[in-house]
């Protein structure tokens, strides 16, 4: 039913006085957490004769007849009262956005009236987000600039609404330091490849300028997933909720997580990170403009020994599948529930990233897959005891530094050349595999099983005076505990046959292999230098206990 302009004009005063025009609230949801982080106050006219009058029928009329200012101030006042009611009952959304017409900014008393309403009701300036459309800037640029500067200086947050609906959007981002950009819902109606590329580019540009982003008009799960994948900070639309009466909004909040002020500050810090960057660890460099980066990228929230994924792109999911995990949840379970101690390198790297706030990197192996894990802290909150870490996970097939398997073998051979002998040991299987040997040691470990092979090797290759110490060193019953308490490896010097069947001092080392597969140790024998040999001879004569 269409309402005439005259009906709006004749009944506007009554609607304001009796509260027929009232604020409805549409939730704004944090993309990464799906917690309510804000809500937009929207004017709705509940007319006793005609029911709910559409904003399309009354807002243009009020603007044409210079009445919109009164309505906007009434909505602001109602929003402030609702904010205080929520605080009094301990139910928060802790901030609301309020729309203002382009005509409001032409009023000489606009700033004073906004500040007066908030101060009269004891509402902090940071609790109200000022939403303006880009058409505001063209009404009176000098006046808008003056009011904009006053709002920012007083601690207000200013959002630009319906971005992309005008002709000079990019120019506005250059001229004004907006805090958040709301992308026009028209981009979401045509959910084509072209529109997705365009939205991704807008989000990317905003990140480069330090501006948060919100996409409104979201109606489907596919749209919501896409918005999360490109790193947009917030979502608004019917997919989560339509605009609600205050009582219905309270009911909605009772079923959703709501962001605290500390969480808001923390997630706003996280939100300035560009998920589409080609250089995720150096955001100052050139970045991608594609809809999703090919770099295996994730965000991991670290809290007191836990690492929980809040984001992982398709490339990262492919990387973890190559390690044997079907999902992020499976990887989280493995890591957080401490199923295996072999995953400590990743845990330690996350801790180092949080503590040092610099890029941390480690290379390790899982089964037959070599991979590189890199991490960097991008946000911290002492109040929440949380830190957000970005991470990349490259398998050797994707790592540009290792182009193919033959190259990997070549590098491995160069590494092995520094050792006399290299074995992989599998205690749970009582088995071992010889990877490399240039000392022609016997293969008893493989032929007899790991435990019998250790004793056979001691008898045939180790100096008689060192055999008991060697067997204590390789005691499988205490190996796990000794390695875990000694930074992941143990090592001692022993006299072992060299290639000439002469006993010579060698360094023997057993190292826990960081792997998400079965428990595995790498056992290496390396010749000692002349200086180390002289030291070992001195110790064996005068202080043999120090060789233990």
pLDDT digits (tens, 9 = 90+) for 43-57: 999 999 999 999 999
- Residues 390, 423: one domain? no
Question: Residue 461 corresponds to which tokens in the numbers above?
Answer: 């290759």
pLDDT digits (tens, 9 = 90+) for 114-145: 999 999 999 999 999 999 886 665 567 788 88
| Cβ-contact 308, 326 below 8 angstroms | no
- Residues 209, 116: one domain? yes
- Return d(Cα 298, Cα 316) in angstroms, integer: 7
- Residues 372, 450: one domain? no
Residue with tokens 């192996």: 365
Is a pLDDT exceeding 90 seen at residue 369?
no
What average pLDDT does this structure show over 334-355?
71
- Residues 302, 434: one domain? no
| Cβ-contact 307, 301 below 8 angstroms | yes
Is a pLDDT exceeding 50 seen at residue 288?
no
Query: What is the DSSP annotation of 382-409?
Result: TTTTEEEEEEEEEETTT-TT--SHHHHH
pLDDT band at residue 399 using 50, 70 and 90 as cut-offs: very low
What average pLDDT does this structure show over 299-316?
90
pLDDT band at residue 208 using 50, 70 and 90 as cut-offs: confident
- What pLDDT score does 444 carry? 47
Residue spans of beta strands (DSSP E) within 50-179: 51-53, 96-99, 128-133, 157-163
- What pLDDT score does 1 carry? 60
pLDDT band at residue 196 using 50, 70 and 90 as cut-offs: confident
> What is the H or E stretch that residue 527 is in?
strand 521-527
Is a pLDDT exceeding 50 seen at residue 400?
no
- What pLDDT score does 173 carry? 77
Beta-carbon contacts of residue 246 (< 8 Å; ≥ 6 apart): 23, 24, 25, 82
Question: Residue 148 corresponds to which tokens in the numbers above?
Answer: 């904009």
Question: Residue 204 corresponds to which tokens in the numbers above?
Answer: 């990317």
Lowest mean pLDDT among 117-121, 153-157, 294-298, 446-450: 446-450
- Residues 47, 135: one domain? yes
- What pLDDT score does 415 carry? 67
Instruction: Count the Cβ atoms, other than its own, within 10 Å of residue 18.
Output: 11
pLDDT band at residue 42 using 50, 70 and 90 as cut-offs: very high
Is a pLDDT exceeding 90 seen at residue 388?
yes
- What pLDDT score does 289 carry? 46
Beta-carbon contacts of residue 100 (< 8 Å; ≥ 6 apart): 72, 130, 131, 132, 136
- What pLDDT score does 125 carry? 95
Q: Is residue 92 part of a domain?
A: yes
How much is the pTM? 0.72
Look at residues 468, 426, 213, 443 and name the one whose alpha carbon lies nearest to residue 434: 443
* Average pLDDT along the chain: 85
- What pLDDT score does 402 carry? 47
- Check the CA dihedral 519-522-523-528 and report its sign: negative
Q: Is residue 166 part of a domain?
A: yes
Q: Is residue 402 part of a domain?
A: no
- What pLDDT score does 364 carry? 67
- What pLDDT score does 345 carry? 67
Q: Is residue 14 part of a domain?
A: yes
Instruction: Count the Cβ atoms, other than its own, within 10 Å of residue 73.
Output: 20
Is a pLDDT exceeding 50 seen at residue 490?
yes
Rounded to the nearest 10°, the torsion over CA 515, 229, 397, 489 is: -20
Q: Is residue 375 part of a domain?
A: yes
Q: Is residue 400 part of a domain?
A: no
Residue with tokens 């490109």: 230
pLDDT digits (tens, 9 = 90+) for 492-531: 999 998 766 789 999 999 998 866 556 889 999 998 989 9
- Residues 385, 466: one domain? no
- The residue from 345, 360, 395 where one domain ends is 395
252 against 141, higher pLDDT:
252
- What pLDDT score does 513 carry? 81
Residue 379 sits in a domain whose CATH number is 3.30.450.20
Residues spanned by the domain of 530: 418-547
Residue 522 sits in a domain whose CATH number is 3.30.450
- Residues 454, 388: one domain? no
- What pLDDT score does 161 carry? 87
- Residues 65, 192: one domain? yes
- The residue from 395, 430, 452 where one domain ends is 395
- Residues 137, 217: one domain? yes
Question: Residue 50 corresponds to which tokens in the numbers above?
Answer: 């005609």
Phi–psi pair at 45, nearest 5 degrees: -110, 110
- Residues 301, 256: one domain? no
Lateral strand order in the sheet of 369-381: 306-312, 297-303, 386-395, 369-381, 360-366
Task: Name 308's bridge partners.
Answer: 301
Residue 36 sits in a domain whose CATH number is 3.20.20.450
Biggest CA-to-CA distance, the chain: 111
Percent of the chain beyond pLDDT 90?
48
Phi–psi pair at 115, nearest 5 degrees: -65, -35
Q: Is residue 378 part of a domain?
A: yes
- What pLDDT score does 292 carry? 56
- The residue from 395, 430, 451 where one domain ends is 395
Q: Is residue 407 part of a domain?
A: no
pLDDT digits (tens, 9 = 90+) for 412-444: 666 666 788 888 888 888 888 877 777 656 554
Q: How many domains does the chain have?
A: 3
Is a pLDDT exceeding 90 seen at residue 349?
no
Beta-carbon contacts of residue 300 (< 8 Å; ≥ 6 apart): 307, 308, 309, 310, 350, 375, 388, 389, 390, 391
Is a pLDDT exceeding 50 seen at residue 351?
yes
- Residues 56, 12: one domain? yes
- Check the CA dihedral 324-329-330-332 and report its sign: positive
- Residues 168, 251: one domain? yes
- Check the CA dihedral 267-76-100-118 and report its sign: negative
346 against 399, higher pLDDT:
346
pLDDT band at residue 20 using 50, 70 and 90 as cut-offs: very high
Beta-carbon contacts of residue 36 (< 8 Å; ≥ 6 apart): 27, 28, 29, 30, 93, 252, 253, 256, 257, 258, 259
440 against 214, higher pLDDT:
214
Count CA within 13 A, CB hemisphere, residue 443.
9
| Cβ-contact 503, 496 below 8 angstroms | yes
Lowest mean pLDDT among 73-77, 452-456, 467-471: 452-456
């Amino acid at each position: 039913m269409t309402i005439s302009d005259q009906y709006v004009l004749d009944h506007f005063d009554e609607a304001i006085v009796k509260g027929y025009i009232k604020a409805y609230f549409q939730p704004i949801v944090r993309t990464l957490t799906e917690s309510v982080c804000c809500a937009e106050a929207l004017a709705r006219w509940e007319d006793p004769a005609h029911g709910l009058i559409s904003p399309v029928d009354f807002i243009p009329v009020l603007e044409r007849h210079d009445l919109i200012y009164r309505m906007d101030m009434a909505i602001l006042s109602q929003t402030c009262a609702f904010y205080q009611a929520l605080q009094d009952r301990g139910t928060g959304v802790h901030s609301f956005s309020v729309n203002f017409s382009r005509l409001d900014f032409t009023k000489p008393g606009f700033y004073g009236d906004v500040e007066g309403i908030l101060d009269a009701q004891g509402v902090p300036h940071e609790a109200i987000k000022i939403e303006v459309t880009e058409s505001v800037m063209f009404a009176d640029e000098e006046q808008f600039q003056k009011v904009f500067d006053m709002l920012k200086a007083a601690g207000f947050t200013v959002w630009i609404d319906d971005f992309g609906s005008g002709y000079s959007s990019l120019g506005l981002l250059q001229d004004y330091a907006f805090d958040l950009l709301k992308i026009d819902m028209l981009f979401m109606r045509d959910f084509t490849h072209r529109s997705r590329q365009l939205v991704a580019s807008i989000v990317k540009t905003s990140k480069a300028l330090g501006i948060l982003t919100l996409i409104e008009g979201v109606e489907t799960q596919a749209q919501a997933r896409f918005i999360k994948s490109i790193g947009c900070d917030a979502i608004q639309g019917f997919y989560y909720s339509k605009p609600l009466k205050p009582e219905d909004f309270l009911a909605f909040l009772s079923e959703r997580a709501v962001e605290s002020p500390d969480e808001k500050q923390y997630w706003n810090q996280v939100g300035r990170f560009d998920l589409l960057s080609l250089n995720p660890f150096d955001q100052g460099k050139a970045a991608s403009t594609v809809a999703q980066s090919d770099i295996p990228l994730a965000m991991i929230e670290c809290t007191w020994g836990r690492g929980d994924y809040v984001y992982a792109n398709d490339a990262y999911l492919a990387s973890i599948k190559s390690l044997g995990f079907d999902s992020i949840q499976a990887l989280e379970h493995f890591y957080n529930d401490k199923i295996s101690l072999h995953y400590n390198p990743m845990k330690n790297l996350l801790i180092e990233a949080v503590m040092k706030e610099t890029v941390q990197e480690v290379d390790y192996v899982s089964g037959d897959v070599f991979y590189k894990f890199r991490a960097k802290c991008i946000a911290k909150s002492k109040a929440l005891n949380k830190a957000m870490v970005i991470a990349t996970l490259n398998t050797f097939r994707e790592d540009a530094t290792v182009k193919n398997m033959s190259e990997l073998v070549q590098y491995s051979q160069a590494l092995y050349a520094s050792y006399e002998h290299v074995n992989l040991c599998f205690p749970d299987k009582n088995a071992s595999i010889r990877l490399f040997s240039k000392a022609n040691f016997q293969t008893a470990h493989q032929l007899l099983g790991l435990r019998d092979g250790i004793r056979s090797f001691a008898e045939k290759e180790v100096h008689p005076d060192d055999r008991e110490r060697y067997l204590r060193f390789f005691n499988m019953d205490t190996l796990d505990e000794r390695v875990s308490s000694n930074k992941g490896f143990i090592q001692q010097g022993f006299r072992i046959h060299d290639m000439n069947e002469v006993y010579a001092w060698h360094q023997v080392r057993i190292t826990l292999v960081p792997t998400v597969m079965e428990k595995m140790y790498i056992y290496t024998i390396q010749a000692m230098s002349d200086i180390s040999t002289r030291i070992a001879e001195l110790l064996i004569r005068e202080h043999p206990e120090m060789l233990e």
